[in-house]
Amino acid sequence: MATAAPPSLSLCYASSSFQYQQDPSFQTHFKPLLLNSSLCRLTLNQRERSCLKWVDFTSQKQSPKSVSFRVLAAVAAEAEVADMEEEEGESGGVATLPSPTKPKKGKAALPLKSDRTRSKRFLEIQKLREIKQEYDLKTALSLMKQMSSTKFVETAEAHFRLNIDPKYNDQQLRATVSLPKGTGKTVKIAVLAQGDKIDEAKAAGADIVGGEELIEQIKGGFMDFDKLIATSDMMAKVASLGRILGPRGLMPTPKAGTVTPNVAQAVEEFKKGKVEFRVDKTGIVHIPFGKLNFKEEDLLINLFATIKSVETNKPTGAKGVYWKSAHISSSMGPSIRLNIREMLDYKPPSNA
């Protein structure tokens, strides 16, 4: 009598001796049902689901102590046949093959995932430059101007990846750079001062000047300015604006040059093209250095000033290679990789 119950198979036969050849994928256990009887049980435990044994045997008259089995049948079916039969029964006995995938067309066929979300304009203009090629400053600026195809005047941007981690205090970078040829846009400056400093700020060209009344306006939601400058004696009152100005990057700080006793000089510098920059949490610095309607010579002078400022303000905790990569791009255009060695060794003309 044989009873199959996967993953084990139990066979009972009225004999105490038979010979067998064991398959390595099965485990056998021989247990006499009764001590003084010749009825024995053979249990085949399946280790894997690779195959299932169907066995038959013949008895031989031997002493009960000499236990042996002779397996007369080999592998009859795979263990997964039952699963296949169940699947065929559910699908009506018809095996279905997966339909062949259709070839991708359009943007879906592009090899780079980032290009699949780009506009047709972007994909067309990025063919003007090689993706992994490094360019010198003059060639990169010329390519950037050629790739400008928007209806508005784009901003020229520099992106420097540095070997610093800003979560450490000695590897933070926050400074300013004065662009000799300006930023190309009008900056609206507000000044927080009192006494004679109010008149100095107005004479220097500040757009908004005030004291405690201006602080109350900012608390009420007034944010119609691009840069906020404060005198040192006003910082105790400006501290209450930290939650409002901090997330917008408008909080006055000495490192950015927006907290100073010389208000007139600070206003003039920011009006002429002084730009504040800081490293982000990934170690990258983003600096605008002009507009694409500038001459290439003017853009080159501004770009050189930004490179020199980042190099001069190198954090004390920076170790190893400071510059990892450098790119320039327009606001809506692809990036152009710069050759770092040529960038650092560049010498501007003496008349610049």
Classify burial at 285, counting beta carbons within 10 Å of its beta carbon; exposed 0-12, middle 13-18, buried 19 or more.
buried
Beta carbons within 8 Å of 14's beta carbon, 6+ residues apart? 38, 39, 59
Nearest to 282 by CA among 190, 167, 131: 167
Report the amino acid identity of residue 175: A
Mean pLDDT per block of 10 residues along the chain (352 residues) reads 46 42 46 42 44 44 43 42 56 58 66 65 79 90 88 93 93 91 90 91 91 91 91 89 88 88 91 90 94 93 94 92 94 90 85 60
Report the amino acid identity of residue 329: S
Tell me, what's the pLDDT at 131? 80
Rounded to an integer, what distance in angstroms lies between the CA atom of residue 48 and that of residue 80? Answer: 11
> What is the residue-wise DSSP string for 262-292?
-HHHHHHHHHHTEEEEEB-TTSEEEEEEEET
139 three-state secondary structure:
helix
Question: How many CB atoms are located within 10 Å of the residue 160 CB?
Answer: 26
Q: Nearest 10 degrees: CA dihedral of 310, 313, 314, 316?
A: -170
Q: What digits encode the pLDDT tens for the residues 81-138?
A: 455 555 555 555 555 556 667 776 666 656 566 666 667 777 777 788 888 899 999 9
Cβ atoms of 200 and 264 within 8 Å: the answer is: yes
The structure's pTM equals: 0.63
Nearest to 178 by CA among 313, 314, 266, 272: 272
Tell me, what's the pLDDT at 75? 40
Q: Estimate the share of the chain in helix, then strand, then coil, as percent rounded to the nearest 5.
A: 30, 25, 45
Rounded to an integer, what distance in angstroms lies between the CA atom of residue 243 and that of residue 229? Answer: 17
Cβ atoms of 230 and 252 within 8 Å: the answer is: yes
Structure tokens that stand for 267 in this block: 């206003």
From first CA to last CA, the distance across the chain in angstroms is 103
Rounded to an integer, what distance in angstroms lies between the CA atom of residue 78 and that of residue 51? Answer: 4
Tell me, what's the pLDDT at 96? 58
Alpha helices in 220-339 (DSSP H): 235-238, 242-245, 263-272, 296-312
Cβ atoms of 212 and 234 within 8 Å: the answer is: no
